[in-house]
Amino acid sequence: MTADWGRHIVESRLQSQWLEGSIRHRRKAPVNHEFSYHTGMLALDLREWNSITAISPLFSLEKFNWLSLHRKDYLEPDRDTPVLDAVCDRVETATGWRPDGAVQLITHPRYFGYVFNPVSFYFCYDRGDSPSEGAVPRVILAQITNTPWKERHTYCLETRRQQPASTTEWRSERFEFSKRFHVSPFNPMNQHYRWTFSFRGPELRIHMNVLQDDEKQFDATLVVQRTPLDRKTVHRSLRQFPLEAFKVTAGIYWHALKLKLKGARFFTHPDKLPGDDPDFRRGSDDSGQTVSPDDSGSKTSTKTTGTTGKVSSWRT
């Protein structure tokens, strides 16, 4: 069997996809600031972790290359288990359900050995559901990495999967929950989130609001289209997004400088706060606490926006 024929077989069977679209960030307070950029991301079916790189000689697993995937970049890297097992174990612990369908990782791979993902999502589907047809995941894990500390935290979001009136309508899942992780030095801890995930055929939208006292402080929106993943797509994307991970990190620091010059305030990391501060080490020991509105002890909004899914918080 030739290498090209082997690659063709791999490509024809792939469930993984490539995502192309845009990301927009808007800060409303205490200063106004906005930017957007085009992006390309991998939607990796984790069952294909060991085979995905066969589609291109520029793509490697656990080795330096233009594109590469490394186990330590994802959930529970210290465990001697595949990423898929780590995700399934976490979901089962959090919800009592063990994923039995596709588990898709939405992420930036490494570029020339470097990666920074502010957030990677793990979409966990019921058996038989098709991500490419707009199915709604049963559970979503959001793995957050902060800047510049490179710490990680995971939120487990349980969807309600209400059926739309028409198959051509967006299927949206909403979550409202307390902030439990220090993401940016420009945002304090006494905030809460409103996230919306929307699915329609190959289209995916993720809108993330950050609020304080029910006033929007910041939002981020990802709008992407799913496309088949093959060698042609990978190479075209490398021409369009040759240094994607470097662009993400450089953009974070460049816009942080702009915010500082506009007078935005720095907030101390909660681990560095005085011991009597109510936000001291907030979220640092989370191991499954419910942080959505049904938990009376969470600091969520007083104005919910309709039916929302359950969210639990995990320091990973």
130 pLDDT band, cuts 50/70/90, is very high
pLDDT of residue 162: 77
pLDDT of residue 9: 43
Which whole number is the average pLDDT over 48-67? 96
In this structure, what are the phi and psi dihedrals at residue 20, rounded to the nearest 5 degrees?
-130, 140
Sign of CA dihedral 35, 38, 42, 43: positive
Distance of CA 211 to the CA centre of its chain: 19
Q: Do residues 104 and 122 touch, judged by C-beta distance below 8 A?
A: yes
Percent over 70 (pLDDT), the chain: 90
pLDDT of residue 242: 75
pLDDT of residue 165: 61
pLDDT digits (tens, 9 = 90+) for 229-254: 999 999 988 888 777 767 777 777 77
pLDDT of residue 31: 83
Closest by CA to 243, choosing from 60, 37, 66, is: 66
pLDDT of residue 303: 55
Q: Which residue would you say has higher pLDDT here, 263 or 157? A: 157
284 pLDDT band, cuts 50/70/90, is very high
pLDDT of residue 243: 72
pLDDT digits (tens, 9 = 90+) for 95-123: 999 999 999 999 999 999 988 899 999 99
Distance CA 248, CA 251 (A): 5
pLDDT of residue 151: 95
* 159-163, 201-205, 254-258: least confident range: 254-258
Contacts for 109 with CB less than 8 Å, ≥ 6 apart:
42, 59, 67, 68, 69, 115
Q: Where are the alpha helices (DSSP H) in the chain?
A: 3-13, 83-95, 231-240, 244-261
Which whole number is the average pLDDT over 88-96? 98
Q: Which residue would you say has higher pLDDT here, 278 or 3? A: 278
What are the domain boundaries of the chain?
32-161+176-270+278-315
298 pLDDT band, cuts 50/70/90, is very low
Q: For the chain, give the number of residues.
A: 316
Distance CA 125, CA 97 (A): 11
- β-pairing, 192-200 vs 152-158, is unpaired
pLDDT digits (tens, 9 = 90+) for 141-181: 999 999 888 999 999 999 998 776 666 889 999 999 999 99
Which residue has 């919800």 as its token pair?
A: 95
